[in-house]
Amino acid sequence: MSTKEPILSVRDMRVEFKIKKQNALPWHQPEILRAVKGVSFDLAEGETLGIVGESGCGKSTLARAIIRMIPSQGGEVFWQGRDLMKMNEKGLLGIRKEIQMIFQDPLASLNPRLTAGQIIAEPLKTHHPSTSKDEVKKQVRELMEKVGLSARMINRYPHEFSGGQCQRIGIARALITNPKLIICDEPVSALDVSVQAQVVNLLMDLQKELGLSLLFIAHDLSVVKHISNRIMVLEFGDIAEIGEAHDVIHNPQSPYTKELINAVPIPDPIAERKRIAERRALEAKA
């Protein structure tokens, strides 16, 4: 992977938020919350980088800052050699065609007043407004079949779909502009175990077929491990560890990674109870 030129390089990314102190008066200086504290990484073409960490560790903030959905306080993002941070709105629009995003809550990220077909077609209308109606319809139908939805459902509204199906609509919407990178922000956290596997497998198949790069954000290590080539562990806005997926899971270096791995429950009563007992004994000692 190191032989390839990275498609995305992030250098020293910093994001800060101003927050009001508790019981603060209007003239008090706001406190600075440093959500992302200088994160750097590279992503190669066709690679999947998993980003894991507890809620509040800055993983979603990092992803949003990369595509400039939120302002950042420093750092550089190179997308195929061009610095995103120095781009104007018009330039960014062109880039956003190439970088798409899938969100956590499948129902909340779809407009309830649009049909599935309209939702999937929206990015196409924004980025290629000259596409003919028939062409849009044709592409939407093709994509729906590709993500495992029947094209007959094109006129249904989001509430008529199950959670897993809604997430498929979100994936189709992200794919319609032929992106090179998809940022998946906890795409399966809200789904049932039985549906989770289907969506993860779908993403992996699409990646192979279309040569996509993925940034896969999740807090569940067992899912991230399956889809990622490399894993980055974030702790309070800092990189705790980054490395090949297999190494991070089987030979974690940072104590924080170990803690995360230990928190994943094992679906085996005997093993899991033994582990809980060990964890409690350890905590009692500490």
Give the binding site for another protein (CB under 8 A): 22, 54-56, 162-163, 192-198, 200-201, 204, 219-223, 225-226, 246, 249, 259-273, 275-276, 279-280
Q: What b/e string do you get for 81-93 counting C-beta neighbours within 10 Å, with b at 16 or more?
A: eeebbebeeeeee
Query: Which of 66, 260 has the CB closer to another protein?
Result: 260
From the CB of 206, what's the least distance to another protein, in Å?
13
> In this complex, which beta carbon is closest to another protein, that of residue 52 or of residue 84?
52
| Cα dihedral 161→166→172→177 (10° resolution) | 120
Sheet holding 230-235, edge to edge: 99-102, 181-185, 213-218, 48-52, 230-235, 238-244
Which of residues 31 and 272 has its CB atom nearest to another protein in the complex?
272
CB burial of 117-130 (b: ≥16 within 10 Å; e: otherwise) equals bbbbbebbeebeee
- Per-residue HEC secondary structure of 72-137 comes to CCEEEEEECCEEHHHCCHHHHHHHHHHEEEECCCCCCCCCCCCCHHHHHHHHHHHHCCCCCHHHHH
Q: Taking the CB of residue 203, how many other CB atoms lie within 10 A of it?
A: 23
Give 98 or 105: the residue with its C-beta nearer to another protein. Answer: 105
Residues 180 and 133: their CA atoms lie apart, in Å, by: 25
Nearer to another protein, 145 or 192 (CB): 192
Nearest-approach distance from CB 145 to another protein, in angstroms: 18
Q: How far is the CB of 131 from another protein (least distance, A)?
A: 34
In the bound state with another protein, the residue whose beta carbon lies nearer, of 2 and 23, is: 23
Complete DSSP assignment for 2-32: TTSPEEEEEEEEEEEEEEPPTT--TTSPPEE
Please report how close the Cβ of residue 7 comes to another protein at its closest, in angstroms: 22
Q: Is the dihedral of CA 206, 104, 218, 122 positive or negative?
A: positive
Least CB distance to another protein at residue 202 (A) = 10
User: Which of 133, 159 has the CB closer to another protein?
Assistant: 159
Which of 125, 208 has the CB closer to another protein?
208
Q: How far is the CB of 78 from another protein (least distance, A)?
A: 30
Alpha-carbon gap, residue 50 to 227, rounded angstroms: 8
Rounded least distance, CB 37 to another protein, Å:
19
47 CB-side CA count, 13 A = 23
**Least distance in Å: CB of 51 to another protein?**
14
